[in-house]
Structure 1
Amino acid sequence: MGPLEQAIFRIRFDLHLPDVVRPLNALYGGRADFIAQLANLLAIAARAYAARPEELRLLDLRRAGEPDWFQQPGMVGYVCYVDRFAGDLIGVKARIPYLKELGITYLHLMPLLKPRPGANDGGYAVMDYRQVNPAYGTMDDLRELATALRREGISLCVDLVCNHTAEEHEWARRAVAGDPVYQEYYYLFPDRVMPDQYEMTLPEVFPDFAPGNFSYIDRCQRWVWTTFNGYQWDLNYTNPVVLAEMLDTILFLANQGVEILRLDAVAFMWKRLKTDCQNQPEAHAILQVFRALTRLAAPGLIFKAEAIVSPDKLLPYLGSGAATHKECEIAYHNAFMVLLWSSLAERRVVLMTHALQNMPDTPVGCAWLTYVRCHDDIGWAVRDEDAAAVGLSGFLHRAFLSDFYSGRFPGAFARGATFQHNPKTGDRRISGTLASLAGLEAAIEKRDWRETDLAARRILLLHAMILAFNGIPALYMGDELGLLNDRRYLDDPDLAADNRWLHRPFMDWQKAERRHDWQTVTARIFQGVRAMIQTVKNLPSLHAQARCHPVWTHNEQVFGMIRASARGRLLVLANFTEHRQTVPRHRVRDMSFEGELVDRVEGEALDSWSEVSLDPYQVLWLEQVAAT
């Protein structure tokens, strides 16, 4: 490093060292080698900084000057599997113009690091963190793609599986071979005594095809902790060497040009007897160490926490107390996604309004990741307390949602599939694409024009909601075209047992060619979503720092929400039924939206002295027209 680079690193060192020491002390402060472990982590950060390419160092400086870059209203995400979207990384590069046309500024490529052969949990069983899946290309291809995306104004996000590795990973192979150093990388037990004690309070993630949380490894005659599948071995973060290895991996990926890391399964990273081994304080401390050291070496990188937990346990992943602004910048708003689907099935917004009103805001400098669908199943995370507050039984409502979206409920428009039915708890999750869950598949089967129209309206409604809510909206690949459930996964023995592949279709580029043909439902959906994205980019009131205030509209079928900050105010009204609905004129004025209003979705003017009318599944984004 030259003198200037050394001076920059020293400034960062002085600023962030306390933020390294505080959480690290909470993890390993009682160890005799604490100082040596700290020195090792700092050395890893220094080496990564020295190796950071000049273009990425300039990116770090640019991000420092615009710390809210990811909160801008123009930030819109797109999530896809490399092979299913474009074949390989070179193919993804060739599809950048498509992403630009849609208005995407954030591309999340689903797991692309080298997985184990065969069944691999959709790529989340990684056997080498330093290699790309050979079917997708090479690390050089990834680096070139990141550069090409960055030059087109698109930030690259990739997954890093922090909680576990594949059993084929070199660390696991050495552990099986009897190497005591690597046996400390995992939770290995000689018998069932400790596993049985832990199991007393542990839930099951995959009760159907991977019951329990421990697997017997005959090759080394040990029980290993496997929260997810038997081939995914949980890492032992009580060993500081594991934390150092993962930090080195984080900074390696940052230096390839990755700008956002989706940290997978972070809630599970610390184990404690007599708990559910989720959301432990030490899991937060691990993330805080990663965050502080990344700010030394690659401050342009931000973290997205994959923590699908209750809202009260989710907010701390964005930092709290002494760790405010010092953990992750982005977290999935799973509850909002669930409440959208709940309101659509129930045709009432009372539960959603109540639940969101009682949800705390994100800390300043952080953002939700809002989404309608993703690669995973939908678990009905409706809290019993919220359901009871609006006169519902949480248990019965969750059962209703499972019945509705699996198509079992009389009159349901959805075509989904039950995933992981747990008879002990009654829990039933749901698989299916957005379009199939929103009724498009059933409508096409029946060749029903009216139902097709309503399904398209539902799809646009859901996208309008995530685009207007507080955070970064992310589209799941194919949803912008209305792709339906893909049952071809049943022909692949490695996939057939996991019906989540139902909603992981291959991109239909022939259908995409019809996105400009207004006679097709494909074009209606694509152009509708694209138009809303372009509108969002020109609405300062939708900056992620603008608070989101759910409001009662005096109509149980119409959801209301105000986005407000010094940048402006926006009133969102959304009809969650297939019938025309109205909102009383006085209610709009009560919310201080008076005089002439304009709907930014359609560009139409209306006044607050008239009753506000909404067509089936219509969404209005209302702004007050400034007096001239």
Structure 2
Amino acid sequence: MNDPSPPLERALVALRDSASDLPEHVVEQLVDRWHRWGPDVLDGLADVYPDAEELTARVAARVGAAAAARRPALRHRDAQRLLRPDWFQQPDVVGYVAYADRFAGTLRGVADRIGYLRELGVGYLHLMPLLATRTDVDPSAEGGDDGGYAVADYRRVRPHLGTVQDLADLADRLHEAGISLTVDLVLNHVAREHEWAVGARAGDERLSRFFHVFADRTTPAAYERTLPEVFPDFAPGSFTHDPDLLGGRGGWVWTTFNSFQWDLNWANPEVLLEMLGVVLDLANLGVDVLRLDAVAFIWKRMGTDCQGQPEVHAIVQALRAATRVAAPSVVFKAEAIVAPDRLTAYLGTGRRAGRVSDLAYHNSFMVQLWSALATGRADLARQSLTGRPPKPVGTAWATYVRCHDDIGWAVDDADAAAVGLSGWAHRSFLSAFYSGRYPGSFARGLVFQHNPATGDARISGSAAALAGLAAALEHDSAEEVDLALGRLFLLHAAVYGFGGVPLLYSGDELAHLGDPHWAAEPGHAADNRWVHRPRMDWALAEQRHDPATVPGRVFAGLRHLAAVRAGLPSLHAAVESVPLDVGNDAVLALLRRHAAGTLVQLYNVSSAWQRVPAGRVRAAGLQRLWEHVSGFAPHTEPGASGDELAVPPYAAWWLGERDEERPPGGRAAGRRGVAGARVRQDAVP
């Protein structure tokens, strides 16, 4: 190993000094990790801060102190994960996302429900915001807490959930059960009630520099010429006047989201050091994955939309590398809901490839799946997924059908034009379709944050309601129920089969329709996203083992998907899923080439049978076809293009090469399990 550069050597001295209480062999392990990741720290900081060398030494001191405070059980976990750094890329990892209080009341309650999670094959639990918010500090605070994202204290858990010790205990229980814990970390802003903002309002000049504060509207107005509004309905603009700032003279503070969420000034190195301390403290509680909320917004630049600036990726690189030294089992997940062509940068491109976040949401894939179901066509999805920059091999996508947030129709205008659509018109169509306003729509969603100036209208609603189950039950139609459950199964099969970490949103495993009384809960009436954030219905969950019920059919289907996925090494996330043209625009085909075996996935996004030329599938390298989801060997039928595969409505097929020991006989094909449809392959029309 090369000797470290002088700046890294000085930082190494600070690291050793702060970790001097550790046994010497542990210190040497820490030093080895600094040799590995210290250069990434310096490289990231040097691209942002003028005095990067001195800042690197200060970072190293904090890293050493955190390593010294790390408990033995977590050091053991570090050692295990250093031997298996691709743990989150493994096909046996399935995620579950929930609000702790709405799922189980408290953190201790979550621990009591670990068995339920394991039934679903869950190995990754994301608990939505659980750190103390502004309403925990001041229950009378007007405007709420943005669903937990207005954090007032990073080192306290919300009182109604429990304590910091409860969080550490839960992490230990989850680890024992083979489940990794994910927690939100809001990087872009803090609540107006946070001690930093309180100090700034009291006249503390040092803390005022933690924020973007302006004496008048001149500079804010210049920025706002290119800034999009996040919440145009109830929080228009990006700056808020506060009369207490600037020694009581009043000033304007940057507030991208809500007036009570003050954007941090990451150009100030003190902010970086403070937030690094927060990261390391959460890591030492046993958190395995930090979801970097609103990470795209942390760097501001005049004349841009202030999202995804190069400094964002440099800062995250430095934070990740520093965390790898102190707590190498911890990984970062970027919450960046950005245009498809900007997404891969959050995992690292160019010289930052594989050095930024480890996970990132594939928002575009989610949008394209819903778009395909609305149109019955997959050509736009295929276009959107074609030609995107490859992700670094050591990273993974987080794929999902629904989440706690609304759906914004991130359809690229160029992609839409390539398949003969207007991007603006298609986005408008999707909003109308999924709000149930479009004639013939099966969906029952709600419009969220309609912006008349841009025509943007996002959608709230549970997966089941958007997939047609609510309408089917309204119509008392068993056939429509089957179709709705077929859509749900297809959606989840696609995200389970894409590679990466599939995230199952709480309640979707039971086809929960959402909370009809969402607006009656205090503080929720102005935000209809609460319709798809229901409290867990444990009475409904009691039906999960009854195949005659909707919850039983959905739960069984998802358990089955998790089990099949876990047995397919070809779904390791190092390999990308790429679109394959199979000559039928109603079928989304994805190809995965892996040394363990090639997979071709076929998703019929229409309500009609579709035919796919078998030669298109075999050309990918498959000859003796085996469908892994339902466990059968598909037959071919003569057709206009030669031998053809007949794919049932809303079928999800994962095609691989049939092993010699597998019987050739065809079993039930198509919408099996979740839709309850036992469509025989010989029933081809």
TM-score (norm 1): 0.98
Q: Given residue 645 of structure 2, which amino acid in structure 1 is its aligned partner?
A: V
Asked whether 1:40 is paired with 2:58, we answer yes
Deviation at residue 592 of structure 1 after TM alignment: 2.4
| Equivalent position to 1:492, from 500, 521, 524 | 521
Distance in 1, Cα, partners of 2:635 & 2:469: 34
Q: Which residue of structure 2 lines up, in the alignment, with residue 150 of structure 1?
A: 175
Q: Secondary structure at the match of 2:634?
A: strand
Query: Could you tell me which amino acid in structure 2 is paired with residue 178 of structure 1?
Result: G
* SS of match in other structure, 1:354: helix
Aligned length: 624
Structure 1 CA distance, aligned partners of 2:617 and 2:337?
A: 35
Partner in structure 2 of residue 52 of structure 1: 70
Q: How far does residue 432 in structure 1 lie from its aligned partner after superposition?
A: 0.3
- C-alpha separation between the residues in 1 aligned to 2:619 and 2:36? 47
2:507 and 2:227 mapped to 1: Cα distance?
A: 36
Displacement of 1:611 after TM fit?
Answer: 2.6
Match in the other structure for 1:388: 417
Secondary structure at the aligned position of 2:389 is classed as coil
CA RMSD of superposed structures (Å): 1.2
Q: Are residues 1:4 and 2:19 paired?
A: no
Deviation of 1:588 after TM superposition, in Å, equals 2.4
What is the SS of the residue equivalent to 1:303? Answer: strand
Residue 604 of structure 1: aligned partner? 632
Per the alignment, residue 444 of structure 1 pairs with 473
2:155 match: secondary structure: strand
2:97 corresponds to: 79
Per-residue deviation, 1:391 = 0.6
Residue type of the partner of 1:447? D
The 8 Å contact of residues 435 and 443 in structure 2, kept in 1 or not, is answered as yes
Give the Å deviation of 1:607.
4.5
Provide structure 1 residue ranges, at least 5 long, that are not aligned to the other structure.
none
Match of 2:16 in 1: none
**Is residue 188 of structure 1 aligned with residue 188 of structure 2?**
no
Aligned residue for 1:414, secondary structure, equals coil
**2:255 equivalent among 220, 226, 237:** 226
Q: d(CA) in 2 for partners of 1:405 and 1:190?
A: 44
In 2: Cα distance, 1:538 partner to 1:204 partner: 45
Residues 40 and 318, structure 2, Cα contact 8 Å, conserved in 1: yes
8 Å Cα contact 1:78-1:108 kept in structure 2: yes
Which moved further from structure 2: 14-23 or 368-377? Answer: 14-23
Which residue is 2:658 aligned to?
A: 625
2:393 and 2:620 map into 1 onto residues whose CA distance is: 24
1:489-519 Cα deviation digits (max 9, x unpaired): 2112411100111110111111100011111
Residues 76, 533 of structure 1: 8 Å contact kept: yes
Three-state SS of the structure 1 residue aligned to 2:551 is: helix
CA contact (8 A) 1:593 1:608 kept: no
The residue type paired with residue 534 of structure 1 is: A
Gaps of 5+ in 2: 1-21, 136-140, 638-642, 662-685
Structure 2 residue matching 1:487: 3-state secondary structure: coil
Of 565-574 and 239-248, deviating more is: 565-574
- 1:271 positional shift: 0.6
CA contact (8 A) 1:597 1:608 kept: no
Partners of 1:426 and 1:358 in 2: CA distance: 28
Q: Percent identity?
A: 53
How far apart are the structure 2 equivalents of 1:137 and 1:272?
40
Structure 1 residue 106, shift from structure 2 partner: 0.2
Q: Are 1:263 and 2:298 matched, yes or no?
A: no
Secondary structure of 2:290's aligned partner: strand
Instruction: Give me the whole-angstrom Cα distance separating, in 2, the residues matched to 1:326 and 1:585.
Output: 41
Secondary structure of the corresponding residue to residue 611 of structure 1: strand
Please name the residue that 1:246 is paired with.
275
- 2-side partners of 1:64 and 1:608: how far apart? 47
Say which SS state the counterpart of residue 252 (structure 1) adopts: helix
1:68 aligned partner = 86
Counterpart of 1:615 in structure 2: which amino acid?
A: P
State the 1:248 CA deviation.
0.4
CA deviation profile, 1:176-222 (whole Å, cap 9, x unmatched): 00011110111111111111111111110000000000001123311
**1:521 counterpart residue number:** 550
- SS of alignment partner, residue 419 of structure 1: strand
1:567: Cα distance to partner? 1.6
| 1:325-372 CA-partner distances (Å, limit 9, x unpaired) | 211000000000000000000000011011112222211100000000
Report the AA paired with residue 131 of structure 1: R
Alignment-mate amino acid for residue 296 of structure 1: V
What letter matches 2:576 in structure 1? Answer: R
Paired residues for 1:397-412 under 5 Å: 397-412=426-441
- 2:572 aligned with 1:580: no
| Structure 1 residue matching 2:577: 3-state secondary structure | strand
- Offset of residue 10 of structure 1: 1.2
The one of 604, 610, 613 equivalent to 2:646 is 613
Contact map agreement 1:162 1:269 (CA 8 A) in 2: yes
Q: More deviation in 506-515 or 559-568? A: 559-568
